[in-house]
Amino acid sequence: MKERALWLPAVAILLAPFVVVIVRWCVSTVGTPDLAIRTFA
C-alpha cells in the first residue's frame, strides 16, 4: 500500500498536462466553455 501511495501522485502529475489538453480540445470542439468551466472548475 505504501508503494501505491508513492506512485499515485507521480502518475497524477504526469497525466495532468494530458488531461488539460484533452479538456481544452473538448471545449474548442463543442464550443461550450461555460459548461466546461462549471464542470471542471
Give the pLDDT confidence score for residue 33 in this predicted structure. Answer: 61
- State residue 14's pLDDT score: 92
At 9 the pLDDT is 87
- pTM here is 0.47
Q: What's the pLDDT tens digit per position in 1-41? A: 677 778 888 898 999 999 899 888 877 777 666 666 666 65
CA dist 34 and 16 (Å) reads 21
Specify the long-range contacts of residues 9-15, CB closer than 8 Å, at least 24 apart.
none
Find cell 481544452 and name the residue. 24
pLDDT at 40: 62
